Amino acid sequence: MRPFTYLRADSPAAAAQAAQLEGAKFIAGGTNLLDLMKLDIETPLQLIDVNHLGLDQIEATPEGGLRIGALVRNTDLAADPRVRKDYALLSRALLAGASGQLRNMATTAGNLLQRTRCPYFYDTNQACNKRNPGSGCAAIAGVSRQLGIIGVSTACIATHPSDMAIALRALDAQVETVKPDGSTRRIAMADFHQLPGNTPNVETSLTPGEFITSVTLPAPVGGTHVYHKVRDRSSYAFALVSVGLILQKDGSGRVAVGGIAPKPWRVEAAEALLSQGAKAVSQRLLDGATPTHDNQFKLTLVERTLGSVLAQARDEA
């Protein structure tokens, strides 16, 4: 591990200001960053500890929703009675991720910012535009079974690994931030993660130094919430395909899919086809997909997983 300096921030604005230093990184739970530092993929010159900023609360908003602090641990968020009752999709998605030990440390903001689990990103002997812009993408001609089929580009076919982000996308969450100049803004989940295009190293819409302070959920939408994750083993594995569904009594609903794209994949136009069944929804959802020979099976897997989730939601309803 390379040497670095350490700073404990005393406010969100101070953290953002300190992060303007080239090579600075925020650290909270460290469940992803420390692994990447050990592999010499992340080489920060300074770590900014944000664990003591008081951003670990879940509070009701005036609009009837919830404000989730950036430092709320995944375990606490999944177990919160309000989340379990009104945002069950979020609770279920969180419990599908990682292990209990990791959920005890992982934070809300860190979950959103975790890096891809593409094996070529983790192997520093392989070309990776996300790790080393302009070097190429070894995954495209390599073993791509776990990688993306839609929203990808000729520069990168990696997927975003977060289960939590799938639920937040379906729930129309917003990310609240503070910038180094003290100004704040809200970013819709739909706009937070970026598609790779020619710059796969740019993964979010955050500007340099911008610091996540919380995630807000709108008022509950009701309905039946189901999250199903298809993976190679039953625990501690990332999704081949995951489906988050909110189904209303009138048959309308929301669908977000993971394991297939560089960001949580939701196509609102596909949701209008829910009454026609999983095949119609999947065809619209995956319109424009460019799978490789290794991961073409995901086209069928999305449809079958969605069909199973729809059947489960209707039974529960």
Residue 186 burial by Cβ neighbours in a 10 Å radius (0-12, 13-18, 19+): exposed
pLDDT per residue as tens digits for the range 89-141 = 999 999 999 888 999 999 999 999 999 999 999 999 999 999 999 999 999 99
- Is residue 1 predicted with pLDDT exceeding 70? no
Report residue 153: phi and psi, to 5°.
Answer: -145, 180
The backbone torsions φ and ψ at residue 83, rounded to the nearest 5 degrees and listed phi first, read -70, -45
For the four alpha carbons of 268, 150, 228 and 313, in that order, the dihedral sign comes to positive
Looking at 19-23, 115-119, 145-149, which range is the least confident one? Answer: 19-23
Cα separation, 174 vs 215, in Å, equals 6
Flag whether pLDDT at 62 surpasses 90. Answer: yes
Q: What is the mean pLDDT of residues 167-187?
A: 97
pLDDT at 86 over 70: yes
Q: How far apart are CA 317 and CA 25, in angstroms?
A: 45
The predicted structure's pLDDT at residue 317: 85
Q: How many angstroms separate the Cα of 293 from the Cα of each of 143, 146, 289?
A: 9, 12, 13
pTM, entire model = 0.96
pLDDT number for residue 181: 95
The order of strands in the sheet holding 58-60 is 58-60, 66-69, 211-217, 174-178, 184-188
3-state helix, strand, coil in the chain (%, to 5): 30, 20, 50
Residue 298's pLDDT band (boundaries 50, 70, 90)?
very high
Residue 235 has pLDDT above 90, yes or no: no
Task: For the beta carbon of residue 256, count every other beta carbon within 10 angstroms.
Answer: 26
The pLDDT tens digits for 279-290 are: 999 999 999 999
